[in-house]
Structure 1
Amino acid sequence: MKKEEISLEIYLKEIQKYALLSPQKERQLLMLCKRGDKKSREEIIQCNLRLVVNIAKRYSKCGVALSDLIAEGNIGLIDAIEKFDLSKQCRFSTYATWWIKHSICRAITEKKSLVRIPTYMKAILVQCKEKTTELMKKWDRMPTASEVVSDITIPDSQRKIVNEALITNRAMESMQSIQNLCEQNINIEDKRYRNEEGQSHALQLELILEILKKLDSKRSQIMELRYGLNGRQKMALKEIASQFSLSKERIRQMEKETLKMLKDCLKAREIMY
């Protein structure tokens, strides 16, 4: 076992000794913390370390070491303590979860932006984009990753890894689409949501998907297909209209209505916190 793994194992065992706080005890400590009591602040942190670990583990397959995810999550926990408003009727753990995820997702996004893509793979992805454009004109729809990869000239031994790379690349582009959706189509008045501490693409995507789950099935599916969410293939209005046996204009109208719903939900969420 590596030294880093041993250190992490010791840390995980160490934090087990800190008991979860009751709502009453939690509020008492937070009140003292807001008055500058450092001991209370330390106790709140210690008693929520397991929450950070549980959240960090959900992102363990995102290419960042678990120990680093935990460290970033702890930063989010500290941010939550500083920003928590006692006048709101909300459990601290619920509020802290948002900030812990925020910090972890931001770290993952920054890490991915620093990953060096091999030169040969960059060239292949450019080829894939050109082929995608060509097939879209030919078929009047967005081709799947496998359709694109099967139609470009590369060694068969590379097709699987290129297919996975293209899927990942499209997923990152979907995140960018959602960020643009938030910043442009959803004109949120509360600037904290858009700007405070560099809100990460990943967190924005997670919030949008969470809200979409609460909409009716048809609207949710239309948005997933329109923006390529939840692993769905991104589709044009015409394709979506055909799939749902509706007019293109009706799909456009439903998209506009849903964006308005998302705007209202996101604004309401900010008021809660």
Structure 2
Amino acid sequence: MKKLESQINMIGFFNIGSLEAYIRLANSFSILTSEKEKSLAKKLFFYSDIESAKLLILSNLRFVIHVAKNYSGYGLPQADLIQEGNIGLMKAIRRFNPNINVRLVSFAVHWIKSEIHEYVLRNWRIVKIATTKAQRKLFFNLRKSKKRLGWFNRHEIDTVSQELGVSTQEVKEMEARMSAQDITFDLSAKDSHLDSITNNLRTSFHLEDKKSNFSIKIEKDNWALHATNKLTNALLILDKRSQQIIKRRWLDDDKPKITLQAIARDYGISAERVRQLEKNAMKKLKIAIEA
């Protein structure tokens, strides 16, 4: 798979000339049928077939473009947003299990958005605006909720707070962060007479960041990949109906959590029966993951 990642230029912008030309090229690749997609995914999953991976990537470039367009309001280059989304697509394809009965785009959308989110948060401000998972979710939802350029009034703050399930104070703090501007920490030449202050500030450019620890990040990434693989394999032991219940109840991050009553209506059974199926499925998953 490293060979595939090293060939990222084949879907890059620099060999094409312009974003418009890239979009035309991406839209020229045919959308795969479900059967063809599953066949290619099996070749990649079981035999590490690089050519199959390329076809899966090329046929889904248009989907990455569609997702990236939703982030055009952040003032960042559209080409870079798409390129980050392409990285997410490749990560998704590397992890995609064809034995789970979902289309690749449904599985890949989480990875594509995740890479774009990371890029937006890294580049929207010099100082990171959101560090925790809750802050990141609030940042992106707050951007969607803003209907105008001015500050929220009290009613709008209360509305956003209720819709996102956070406190009004958290909404105010994030809005303040989003409205703040980056300020230089250096002193201008006209302040050169403030030698004592300058000498104190000069040390700030040589301070060690003791919080940075790459080993911890690598360990977390490896654990996340391990946990994802364990969950993916564990889901395969469930029957199709139980798989769908677990996915719709707990794994569809881009959708609101569905109720037992809604699933019961879809399957024509009682909500209590759905609850029992969910409980049994959770027990099986726990045993499989802990094994």
* TM-score normalized by the length of structure 2: 0.42
What is the TM-score of this pair, normalised by structure 1? Answer: 0.45
Which structure has the larger Rg over C-alpha atoms? 2
Higher helix share: 1
Give the structure, 1 or 2, with the largest relative contact order (CA under 8 Å, sep 6 or more).
Answer: 1
